[in-house]
A and B are shown apart, each in its own frame.
Chain A
Amino acid sequence: DAGVIQSPRHEVTEMGQEVTLRCKPISGHDYLFWYRQTMMRGLELLIYFNNNVPIDDSGMPEDRFSAKMPNASFSTLKIQPSEPRDSAVYFCASTSGQSSYNEQFFGPGTRLTVL
Chain B
Amino acid sequence: QKEVEQDPGPLSVPEGAIVSLNCTYSNSAFQYFMWYRQYSRKGPELLMYTYSSGNKEDGRFTAQVDKSSKYISLFIRDSQPSDSATYLCAILGDALIFGKGTTLSVSS
Contact = CB atoms under 8 A, between A and B. Distances in A.
Given A42-B101, A43-B88, A43-B101, A103 B46 contact: yes
Interface in B61-108: 88, 92, 94-101
Contacts of A14: none
A101 B49 contact: yes
B96 A45 contact: yes
A72 interface: no
Given A56-B95, A101-B32, A101-B51, A42 B43 contact: no
B43 A102 contact: no
Interface of A: 4, 33, 41-43, 45, 48, 56, 91, 93, 100-104, 106-109
A33 B51 contact: no
Interface of B: 8, 32, 34, 41-46, 49, 51, 88, 92, 94-101
A95 to B, nearest CB: 9
Contact of A106 (B44, B92, B95, B100): B44
B42 to A, nearest CB: 6
A54 B51 CA distance: 28
Contacts of B98: 42-43, 45
B30 to A, nearest CB: 12
A45 B95 contact: yes
Residue with the greatest number of chain B CB neighbours at <10 A, chosen from A33, A93, A106: A106
Nearest to B50: A101
Contacts of A103: 34, 46, 49
The 10 A-B residue pairs with the shortest CB-CB distance, nearest first, are: A106-B43, A42-B100, A43-B98, A101-B32, A103-B46, A101-B49, A106-B44, A91-B43, A108-B43, A109-B43
A43 B44 contact: yes
B11 to A, nearest CB: 16
